[in-house]
């Protein structure tokens, strides 16, 4: 078998696999939408707070509840202790205090 034939088989199988993945995603979309609506209703009933993204530091667990200086609680010029702090940005300031 020639190398070009092997390449054609490889490309064709990749296209078939991608097509099957796209068909599966479109078929299961309605089931995922129902599941998402059920989870949203549960969150509303239980009155849950924000999503906990990281488990390392308390100022990265709930970003909306952290103040701006908790990352520097040991020293004002201290470096970030936890890697999750480099993945998030500080919360936007909506209203400045006097």
Longest dimension (CA), the chain: 78
Q: Which residue has the higher pLDDT, 80 or 27?
A: 27
Helix pair 29-46, 3-27: axis angle to 10 deg? 50
Give the model confidence (pLDDT) of 82-98 as tens digits: 677 667 666 566 666 55
What is the rounded distance in angstroms from the CA atom of residue 92 to the CA atom of residue 77? 21
**In-domain check, residue 67:** yes
Structurally, the chain folds into a number of domains equal to: 1
**Range(s) of the domain holding residue 75:** 50-90
Q: Which helix (H) or strand (E) holds 11?
A: helix 3-27
**In-domain check, residue 74:** yes
Q: Is the model's pTM score more than 0.85?
A: no
What is the rounded distance in angstroms from the CA atom of residue 61 to the CA atom of residue 56? 7
**In-domain check, residue 31:** no
Q: Which helix (H) or strand (E) holds 40?
A: helix 29-46
């Amino acid at each position: 078998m020639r190398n070009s034939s092997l390449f054609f088989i490889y490309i064709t199988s990749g296209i078939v696999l991608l097509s099957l993945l796209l068909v599966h995603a479109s078929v299961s979309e309605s089931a995922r939408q129902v599941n998402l609506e059920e989870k949203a209703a549960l969150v509303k009933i239980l009155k849950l707070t924000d999503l906990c993204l990281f488990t390392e530091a308390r100022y990265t667990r709930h970003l909306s509840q952290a103040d701006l200086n908790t990352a520097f609680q040991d020293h004002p010029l201290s470096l970030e202790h936890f890697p999750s702090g480099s993945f998030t940005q500080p919360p936007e300031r909506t209203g400045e205090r006097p």
